[in-house]
Structure 1
Amino acid sequence: MKKTIGRKEKPYMLPYFQMEEDSFVITTWHDGQGFNLYTSNERYKTLERLISRLPKGTIIEND
Structure 2
Amino acid sequence: MKNVYVVRLGDLYFKERELILTNNYRYKMADNLNDAIFSEDFDSAKKLAEEIGGKAYKINLEEVE
| TM-score (norm: length of structure 1) | 0.28
| TM-score (norm: length of structure 2) | 0.28
Greater share of helix: 2
Larger Cα-atom Rg: 1
Greater share of strand: 2
